[in-house]
């Protein structure tokens, strides 16, 4: 089961995502990124975080530890923004925390150009995303981190943020376990991901028993709602049955058609040109200040 901790100090909000998670320190001396139950994405996003994150860890992929965080809004009463305070007030009680990776860098296109990923590792990540219908790991929003980025330890890819996965649980009536999704623009698509090798390796590991153990880690309160399930156990069974059936149907949804780096670059040029056409003439002359990594770093030095 997920460990439980109590938040003792609110550090800051993170505004890079729509859910506005917060960085907190806890009574176990750990630091966590907390996703709140009162966020606009709702509790299903937290269910997805637990299910996909714990499945990733069970399959040997790098994913930070998850904990259940007892949160008292009073520890963040100095937060100056009203909407963030309202989020905290709506989130008293149990929330979801992810171990904070100090100094981690977002896996941006600039970093990706200098970072080497083994085709099998890329295939494992793509396979997990395809299994769990995670449509939010693209070249434009990778939800991947590079860590560590200092010292002599080689940097590695870490998976984060799976709140948009398990899209089928938003409409159980139309959930087809064999449905294929478009992963052509997956963040790791240009590393020649060996998804067939990943399928052969990982599919046998995703057993009904493993899925039941993972769903048991989701708090009952996050599994009650308007889905028509009589009890949290009924909801858990629905998740287990769907994902287990999806594993067995992998041949139907296994993504294999990925564009090359050159094709991605050409598509990006077309997209940029279309964006530029819609800008007024004076704005077209403004230089792009966001096209290079911070401090003009040569990431090949750090990530080679």
> Percentage of the chain surpassing pLDDT 70?
91
Q: Is it the case that residue 283 has pLDDT exceeding 80?
A: no
The 156-159 sheet, strands edge to edge: 105-106, 144-147, 156-159
Banded model confidence at residue 170, pLDDT cuts 50, 70, 90: very high
Mean pLDDT of 257-261: 84
pLDDT (average), residues 250-263: 90
CA distances from 302 to 107, 141, 264 (A): 13, 22, 24
Q: Where do the domains of the chain lie? A: 3-99, 105-253
Peptide bond into 148 cis (omega under 30): yes
Residue 295 confidence (pLDDT): 36
Residue with tokens 């939010």: 136
Give the pLDDT confidence score for residue 284 in this predicted structure: 57
Least confident of 86-95, 160-169, 290-299: 290-299
Q: Compute how many other C-beta atoms are within 10 angstroms of the C-beta atom of residue 36.
A: 23
Residue 277's pLDDT is what?
77
pLDDT of residue 175: 86
Mean pLDDT of the chain: 90
pLDDT at 279: 66
Four-CA torsion 127, 133, 136, 138, nearest 10 degrees: 40
Q: Which of 115, 179, 110, 120 is nearest to 140 (CA)?
A: 110
Instruction: Kindly tell me if the per-residue pLDDT of 294 is higher than 60.
Output: no
Q: Please, which pLDDT band fits residue 285 given cuts at 50, 70 and 90?
A: low
Least confident of 13-17, 24-28, 182-186: 13-17
Dump the DSSP string for 28-54. TS-EEEEEPTTSTT-HHHHHHHHHHHH
Question: What is the phi/psi pair of residue 293, to 5°?
Answer: -65, 160
Global pTM reads 0.88
SS3 of residue 122 by DSSP: helix
Q: Where are the alpha helices (DSSP H) in the chain?
A: 43-58, 82-89, 109-112, 119-131, 195-202, 208-215, 232-248, 250-253, 261-277, 281-284, 299-303
pLDDT-derived band at 194 (thresholds 50, 70, 90) equals: very high
**Residue 259's pLDDT band (cuts 50, 70, 90):** confident
């Amino acid at each position: 089961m997920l460990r439980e901790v109590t938040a003792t100090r609110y550090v800051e909000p993170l505004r890079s995502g729509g859910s506005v998670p917060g960085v907190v320190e806890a009574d176990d001396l750990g630091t966590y990124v907390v996703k709140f139950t009162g966020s606009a994405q709702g509790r299903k996003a937290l269910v997805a975080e637990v299910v996909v994150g714990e499945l990733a860890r069970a399959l040997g992929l790098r994913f930070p530890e998850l904990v259940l965080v007892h949160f008292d809004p009073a520890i963040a009463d100095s937060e100056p923004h009203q909407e963030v305070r309202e989020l905290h007030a709506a989130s008293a009680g149990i929330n979801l925390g992810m171990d904070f990776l100090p100094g981690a860098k977002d896996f941006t296109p600039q970093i990706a150009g200098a970072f080497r990923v083994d085709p099998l590792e890329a295939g494992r990540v793509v396979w997990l995303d395809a299994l769990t219908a995670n449509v939010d790991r693209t070249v434009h929003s990778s939800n991947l981190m590079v860590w560590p980025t200092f010292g002599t330890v080689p940097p590695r890819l870490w998976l984060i943020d799976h709140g948009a996965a398990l899209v089928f649980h938003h409409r159980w009536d139309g959930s087809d376990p064999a449905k294929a999704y478009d992963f052509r623009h997956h963040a790791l698509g240009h590393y020649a991901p060996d998804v067939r090798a990943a399928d052969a390796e990982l599919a046998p590991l995703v057993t009904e028993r493993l899925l039941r153990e993972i769903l048991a880690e989701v708090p009952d309160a996050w599994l009650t709602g308007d889905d028509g399930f009589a009890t949290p156990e009924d909801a858990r069974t629905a998740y287990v049955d769907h994902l287990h059936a999806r594993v067995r149907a992998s041949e139907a949804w296994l993504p294999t058609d990925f564009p090359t780096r050159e094709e991605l670059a050409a598509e990006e040029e077309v997209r940029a040109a279309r964006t530029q056409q819609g800008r007024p003439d004076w704005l077209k002359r403004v230089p792009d200040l966001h096209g290079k990594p911070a401090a003009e770093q040569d990431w090949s030095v750090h990530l080679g």
